[in-house]
Amino acid sequence: MNLRLPSFSARTIAIGYAVVTLLVLAMFAAPLWFAWHKNIGEVRTQLLKTDARHLRNLFERQGPPALAAAIDSQVHGVNDGVRKIMLFVAPDGAKLAGNLPEWPEGVPERDGLCQVTIRVDDKPRNVELVRVTLEDGYMLLVASNLDRFQQLERLFAYGLLGCALAVLVGAALGGVLIRRALLGRVQRISQTTASIIEGKLSHRLVEPRDGDELQQLTRTVNRMLDQIEHLVTGVQDVSNAIAHDLRTPLSELRARLEELSVARPPSEETFAEIDAAIDDVDRVMGIFNALLRLAEIDSGSRRGGFVEVDLAALGAEVTEFYGPVAELKDIDLGFDAPEDLRVVGDPVLLAQALGNMADNALKYAPVRGVIAITARRLDADRVAVVVADNGPGIPEHERTRVIERFYRVDASRGTPGVGLGLSVVSAVARLHGGSLTLEDNHPGLRATLLLHANPATQTY
């Protein structure tokens, strides 16, 4: 049988608040009542025994007349049997002193302490009494009326009831305030999400300023909305860019095939056109492969392949791989990093990101230019890889746009590529808890790939 927990709602929280408050009151009142009741009983019993002992000592020292006088003085004017009940009788049962007319029925035949019901002034009374048998057959009875504490107990119960009512009223008011506060926040969240559903993806939840758990939840939701907006905007941009960038190679491919079909050129020219058509198809496949790679990175599925990576060794391999290209352009390509610079990440994606950064610098660096690749640890949690060149650079107003998919600055229109290189680098950086920043190198471009040393432990 499965235990069904109550639903998490503002009403449930308010009711739960009232119930918990009453339970706390009960947990406080129950021990207090027990301690009070037990203490009263012990004190009453001790007083009875003390009075009986004093009266017995008085009888042994001064005899029956002195005891009778002492009892009459104590019960004088108290004939309702409420506070003190005493009786001193002779061996023949005759009353000598006290506020009882005769020896009551129901009293045990043996000496000691007991609780019985006797009649006092023709009224039944619950009493606790001590029976004492004195010398020569005299008997003494000292009793305390248990009913005398009923009024005090009623006052105590009325006090607890009043406290319970006050707690209920306070709990009801507190529950209403809690419910109103929660519903107010839920309403604001609902309004924001309704705007987002209508297509206003830039709207975000307002973060509370009191630093509670809802603030942390709001920040998490806002980060999720940032990612959703980024993905939706990326899909829209990609849709437009694909139509634009695929049109050129497909148009060229169709034109070549149509020309081959109409002109029927010699074999040598035909094979040349076929090779050019294959290049166009490769460009199209390269675009789709890059898009698939970006989709895989954005989904976060590559985190499952994270291992410890020696970033210094990886950077050296990338530099060595692009070394021949740099020699053809007479470019000084260098790499500098401390030994054993380790991070946790995907080695294939990190190698591709470093390769894209180096390839981008080689495209735009001038002949006999300089490209410096450096890697260093900023602190215990962050590592930076910097690729700096002395090429034409990127205008400041376009640096934030070049990491968008398919975006290319005007100066790069004639160079190979489809505008996805830096987009892949930026996506890899986000996957590893970092970012890609582009700055002026005076002259040239300075690209910094910032990585979190262990993205699994990253906190926001």
Give residue-wise pLDDT tens across range 192-219. Answer: 888 878 777 777 777 776 666 677 778 8
Q: What is the pLDDT of residue 414?
A: 45
The domain tally of the chain equals: 3
- φ/ψ of 56, rounded to 5, equals -65, -45
Is the model's pLDDT at 81 over the cut of 50? no
Residue 225 belongs to what domain range? 213-296
Within a domain: residue 33? yes
- Cα distance between residue 359 and residue 362, in whole Å: 5
Q: Which among 424, 129, 149 has a CA at the least distance from the CA of 294? A: 424
What's the CATH number where 36 sits?
3.30.450
- Cα distance between residue 402 and residue 364, in whole Å: 14
Within a domain: residue 272? yes
- Cα distance between residue 4 and residue 80, in whole Å: 60
Q: Which amino acid is at 209?
A: R
The strand order across the sheet containing 95-98 reads 95-98, 85-89, 139-145, 123-133, 112-120
- φ/ψ of 119, rounded to 5, equals -100, 130
306 and 424 both lie in a single domain: yes
Final residue in a domain of this structure, among 271, 296, 321 = 296
- Cα distance between residue 140 and residue 88, in whole Å: 5
- Cα distance between residue 265 and residue 272, in whole Å: 10
Q: Which among 422, 372, 414, 412 has a CA at the least distance from the CA of 392? A: 412
Collapsed DSSP state (helix, strand, coil) of residue 441: coil
Within a domain: residue 190? no
Residues 6+ apart with CB under 8 A from 21: 167, 170, 171, 174
Q: What is the pLDDT of residue 444?
A: 85
Do 13 and 175 contact (CB within 8 A), yes or no?
yes
Final residue in a domain of this structure, among 154, 173, 194 = 154
Q: What is the pLDDT of residue 460?
A: 44
* Residue bearing the bigger pLDDT, 457 or 451: 451
- Cα distance between residue 75 and residue 83, in whole Å: 9
Compute CA 89 distance to the chain's CA centroid, rounded to the nearest angstrom.
78
DSSP for 375-427, please give it.
Answer: EEE-SSSEEEEEEEE-S----GGGTTTTTSTT---GGGTTSS--S-HHHHHHH
269 and 371 both lie in a single domain: no
Residues paired with 89 in a beta bridge: 95, 139
* Mean pLDDT computed over 340-346: 84
Span 14-56, pLDDT tens digits:
677 778 877 887 887 788 777 777 777 787 788 888 888 898 8
Do 63 and 56 contact (CB within 8 A), yes or no?
no
- φ/ψ of 95, rounded to 5, equals -75, 130
Q: Which residue has the tokens 């929280």?
A: 13
Final residue in a domain of this structure, among 261, 296, 331 = 296
Q: What is the pLDDT of residue 245?
A: 63
Q: Which among 47, 49, 52 has a CA at the least distance from the CA of 71? A: 52
**DSSP letter at 455?**
G
What's the CATH number where 240 sits?
1.10.287
Residues paired with 87 in a beta bridge: 98, 141
Find the angle CA(238)-CA(243)-CA(247) to the nearest 5 degrees: 140
15 and 37 both lie in a single domain: yes
Q: Which residue has the tokens 């790069």?
A: 412
Span 172-189, pLDDT tens digits:
787 778 777 777 777 887
Identity of the highest mean pLDDT range in 196-205, 263-272, 325-334: 325-334
> Structure tokens of 124?
């039944």
- Cα distance between residue 186 and residue 181, in whole Å: 9
Q: What is the pLDDT of residue 80?
A: 47
278 and 332 both lie in a single domain: no
DSSP for 77-98, please give it.
Answer: T--SSSS-EEEEE-TTS-EEEE
**DSSP letter at 305?**
G
Among the residues of 300-367, which ranges form H helices? 311-321, 323-328, 347-364
- Cα distance between residue 74 and residue 147, in whole Å: 20
User: Do you know the residue count of the chain?
Assistant: 460
Q: What is the pLDDT of residue 297?
A: 67
Within a domain: residue 441? yes
130 and 145 both lie in a single domain: yes
- Cα distance between residue 109 and residue 165, in whole Å: 49
Within a domain: residue 324? yes
227 and 308 both lie in a single domain: no
Within a domain: residue 63? yes
